Amino acid sequence: MAIPIKNSDDIVKMRVAGKLAAEVLEIIEPHVVPGVSTGELDRLCHEHITVHQHAISASLGYHGYPKSVCISVNEVVCHGIPSDEKILKDGDIINIDVTVIKDGFHGDTSKMFIVGKPTILGERLCRITRESLYLAIKMVKPGIRLRTLGKAIQQFVEAENFSVVREYCGHGIGEGFHEEPQVLHYDADDGGVILQPGMAFTIEPMVNAGDYRIRTMKDGWTVKTKDRSLSAQYEHTIVVTDNGCEIMTLRSDDTLPTVITHPA
């Protein structure tokens, strides 16, 4: 597989796109409250991206997707379509997935929001999912097999009696929305990929409270857990550096540094 290697100019542009994507998740947080519709949240995100950031939503129109962000509530694993009919209620967990294009480069990120008062299970699922992402990011450095990231995520998640979705994965990113390599979140063949400086990709584990199996709804987009258990996801865009990685989509609520380095 041909994995694009980003040069210094590419990385500068990816930093900008990543920062804008992260900003969307920060500005929407105060609006994620009981009684709001996911359609209203989408409109607020769209306005911020287009009017304030003078950027483009990569999701809007992508293979026919009708909205600017994906909003996945409770048992929805990914690709939930925002609507005025879907009203958030106390205890819901929701994922908002944002991809922004600026100057031809993509920034892709998502996080979980807990609506109102959390449930014990909802809070724990979100926390473990976020920790699994952090675990993988902290491992990234040149010379390691890509596969080791997915293996570590799977072991961590399953030790908590949760499961990792198999059908969706992280992906290379840059001028393309989805580039090589595919970044699996469980232990599986990676085609022998060894991480190198300049590789840019997302890590975005989808973790279910119950079984890992999923089903796609009739709209062709919305993916739910087959057993109707809760699902959570966190995502960051990263680039491999000479001795670790840089997180392009870091937010103020993240507890990781922007640049992670490993001793030689």
CA separation, residue 215 to residues 65, 165, 171, 222 (Å) = 18, 11, 21, 9
Which CATH number applies to 8-261? 3.90.230.10
Q: How far is 71 from 25, CA to CA, in rounded Å? A: 12
**Mean pLDDT within 33-37:** 98
The mean pLDDT of 118-133, rounded to a whole number, is 98
Tell me the binding residues: 79, 97, 108, 171, 178, 204, 235
Domain boundaries, the chain: 8-261
List, in sequence order, every beta strand (DSSP E) within the chain.
Answer: 56-57, 70-73, 76-78, 93-102, 105-114, 163-164, 170-172, 179-183, 200-203, 206-208, 214-216, 223-225, 231-233, 236-240, 244-247, 259-261
User: Is the preceding omega at residue 66 within 30 degrees of 0, hence cis?
Assistant: no
Binding-site residue numbers for substrate are: 79, 178
- Could you tell me the two tokens for 178? 């989805």
For residue 41, pLDDT beyond 90: yes
Q: What is the pLDDT of residue 168?
A: 95
Confidence of residue 212 (pLDDT cuts 50, 70, 90): very high
Residues 6+ apart with CB under 8 A from 98: 21, 24, 25, 45, 49, 57, 59, 69, 108, 109, 110
Question: Which residues contribute to the annotated binding site for a divalent metal cation?
Answer: 97, 108, 171, 204, 235
Residue-wise pLDDT for 143-191, tens only, equals 999 999 999 999 999 999 999 999 999 999 999 999 999 999 999 999 9
User: What pLDDT shows up at residue 206?
Assistant: 98
How far is Cα of residue 170 from the mean position of the Cα atoms in its chain? Answer: 8
pLDDT confidence tier of residue 1, bands split at 50, 70 and 90: low
Using DSSP's 3-state secondary structure scheme, residue 260 falls into strand
pLDDT in tens, 73-104: 999 999 999 999 999 999 999 999 999 999 99
For the chain, give the mean pLDDT: 97
Q: Give dist(CA 162, CA 242) in Å, integer.
A: 34
pLDDT at 264 over 80: no
Q: Give the integer Cα–Cα distance in Å for 262 and 259.
A: 10
Phi, psi of 217 (to 5 degrees): -75, 170
pLDDT recorded at residue 50: 98
Whether the pLDDT of residue 35 is over 80: the answer is: yes
